[in-house]
Amino acid sequence: MHVIDSHTGGEPTRVILDGAPDLGSGSLAERAKRLAAEHQAFYRSVMLEPRGQPAMVGALLVEPVDPTCVTGVIYFDVDAVLGMCGHGTIGLTVTLAHLGRIAVGQHRIETPAGVVTVELHDANTVTVTNIESRRVHQNVSLDVAACGKVTGDIAYGGNWFFIIDPSPIPVEPANIRKLTDMSIAIREASIAQGVGGENGEPIDHVVFQEASPDPAVHSRNFVLCPDENYDRSPCGTGSSARLACLAADGRLAPGQEIIQQSVIGSSYRLSYQPGPNGGVIPSITGQAFITAEATLLFNENDPFRVGIET
Ligand code: PYC
């Protein structure tokens, strides 16, 4: 299995070029469901240690349905198949350029959540124009055993987010353990209390937001991903969901650009345009760097061939 690894603001992406199971035909959403239901062992073996690493997202290249797209892609982490992934799309675009498959300019990429547009500015810098993102519930309260009542907004940016703004704990590297524990407890409470998206979709990510002390930076976030790791990048789909909340609250005008940082200080430039269905069309600019080109090996005699399951 040939893969190319990259990181976007510190968050790793592994693009799988070949050697993956055949997901058959149908829409990308149908093929993503098949991947989740029938091929868990495959994607876990690629993401888990010792082959993978914590927080890594896989990007499986598939044939697009829409022939105007340069590729189709299905993203996943060790615990879930994702609707879309912003940092992964920046990493994938830089990888496609590295492979000589695309040049500087605009390209379309099909994901289970819909078609996104990417603009490759140079070997490392990409703007993703995401699918329409929206806030679906405001000021939702959850009773969380570990920390009491927590209130947040529920928004969609290609995945489902519970966004707490302002964060009750400072969004700083020293607090990563505390933020992780609290966000896991919040996600578990949302599931136990039946709180989710507009059709009951489960919350898969939790976001803590806070204003930045640096006047050049609008805000910082901590984002918990389905695999219970935090996003090292400011999370493209999470930033999209957040833009939808800022727009709905009248706190950010269309076209106004802000800088959002992750908990480790990596940043995206963000803006939006109004969407056709009352949401926002987010624009996310970030940088990715290739870290490895590799062939993954699966030795029959390796006791950890399928990864370390804990
Ligand atoms: O950037 O959208 C994102 C993302 C989702 C999970 C990890 N990164």
Tell me, yes or no, whether 173 and 257 share the same domain. Answer: yes
User: pLDDT tens, 78-130?
Assistant: 999 999 999 999 999 999 999 999 999 999 999 999 999 999 999 999 999 99
Q: How many domains does the chain have?
A: 2
Average pLDDT value for residue range 123-149: 96
Q: Output the pLDDT for position 175.
A: 98
- Residue 124 belongs to what domain range? 2-130+290-295
Tell me, yes or no, whether 42 and 111 share the same domain. Answer: yes
Best residue among 81, 111, 237, 261 to mutate for probing ligand 1's pocket (most ligand atoms within 8 Å of CB) is 237
Collapsed DSSP state (helix, strand, coil) of residue 246? helix
Assess contact for 10 and 266: CB atoms under 8 A. Answer: yes
Whether 12 lines ligand 1, by a CB cut-off of 6 Å, is no
Is residue 218's pLDDT more than 90?
yes
What distance in angstroms lies between residue 76's CA and the mean position of ligand 1's atoms?
10
Is residue 193's pLDDT more than 90?
yes
220 vs 231: CA distance, rounded Å: 12
Catalytic residues: 85, 235
Q: Output the pLDDT for position 310.
A: 82
Is residue 147's pLDDT more than 90?
no
Atom of ligand 1 nearest to the CA of 237: 2
CATH number at 41 reads 3.10.310.10
Assess contact for 230 and 222: CB atoms under 8 A. Answer: yes
Q: Output the pLDDT for position 146.
A: 83
The residue nearest atom 5 of ligand 1, judged by CA position, is 85
H or E element, residue 152: strand 148-156
User: pLDDT tens, 4-52?
Assistant: 999 999 999 999 999 999 999 999 999 999 999 999 999 999 999 999 9
What distance in angstroms lies between residue 86's CA and the mean position of ligand 1's atoms?
5
